[in-house]
Amino acid sequence: MENMPLEIETLIIAEIAQAITPEEQAHLNELRDNDPAIQVLSDKLYGQLGGLHRKTNEEMEESVRHIIALANAGKVYKRRSILVGLRFPLIAAASLLGIFLLATKGYESYLGKIPELARQENDENTYLFDGNQWMSVKDGELNINEDGQLYSNNTRLSTPEKLFTRSNAAIQVGRRKTLSITLADGSSIVANAGSTIRLPKRFAENERKVFISGEAYCDIASRAGHPFIVSYPTGKVEVLGTAFNVRTYDNETPSIAVVEGRVKVDNQGATTILTEGQKATYIQGQYRVAAFDVNVVTAWKKNVVFFPNASKQEVESAFEIYYGKKLSIDRAFPKGMGRINIVRSEKESEFVDQLPHDLKEVPSKDGILHVQ
């Protein structure tokens, strides 16, 4: 069991959470029948997690906390594991929380079983989780073909051959980077810096689902009877064929802007229908819908940030999203900072040089870039 593939554990977890497809179930049954070690692993996981979906929320949270404590104490499997990840306690906690959600929320959380990558917030590398391990993706493009094979810059990535049917992939886009993803159905997603995308290498027969946290521009191919669903941390967008921008960074309120077509948005139970030219922002339990300038909303795709009349907070947020570092504008602008059009580059100083009002960097030792 020392070298048991992560595929086996994720299959068993999906079975426990009752989120396994018939094809995956047949594959898992065959594996257990042919390898006694897999049966032993299955028994252990059922012993730890098998009752989660029958417990109350409080009981499930207590179970998760207990398993995390065991993992951190080194009392559970002492090997590289989707459950424990002893070398990376953050991965252990994130993975176990994913299991807790998986048992209660179905397919969206099934995608969430992919372990989070323990890395610094300002990491400039883009990473891909291929179903077995995290790998660095240096090129700014990623393609997935109909067989679920991954390509970067026309070169096939070295990924495991024997993954289960609905194998998932995750992409974490580095700071100072954007990534263009082309899906097998012809849809495309351009992800902004600091974003996370999780998606199946092969879509299910009756629908197409992906998860986005951060910001992405989605151009969705129309397929009758195959709706495309974009889930984000607090809601989802349902489309049949359209282009829209979704922005869901942690420190901001979620917003959806429709460039073409028509979508239905749902955030914590609040729903609305958006058509071309409409942008919805979720504020205080409801959507506020207004017209938007597509050149402003999608400027980031060309590495540009544009504000007709920027506030300090907007500029500081735009800097942190791209560079993974806090910016503090130490001057008051009660009527706004005016029109700002900044071309993003690798150098933080070039961002600052483009700010109006002759703002200059000042020495600081608190890890924050101060300008005044």
- Looking at every residue in the chain, the average pLDDT score rounds to 78
Instruction: Name the pLDDT band for 331 (thresholds 50, 70, 90).
Output: very high
pLDDT given for residue 106 in this prediction: 44
List pLDDT tens digits, range 91-137: 333 344 444 444 334 445 545 556 666 655 567 889 888 766 778 88
* pLDDT higher at 237 or 113: 237
36-49 helix and 57-72 helix, angle to the nearest 10 degrees: 130
Dihedral over alpha carbons 347, 348, 353, 354 (to 10 degrees): 90
- 126 and 174 Cβ atoms separated by less than 8 Å: yes
Is residue 256 over pLDDT 90? Answer: yes
Angstrom distances, CA of residue 28 to CA of 46, 111, 115, 132, 263: 14, 18, 21, 17, 37
Q: What is the pLDDT of residues 29-38, one digit of tens each?
A: 888 777 777 8
Phi-psi domain of 132 (left: phi exceeds 0; alpha: psi -120 through 50; beta: other): alpha
pTM metric for this prediction: 0.70
Structure-block tokens of residue 48? 């730890």
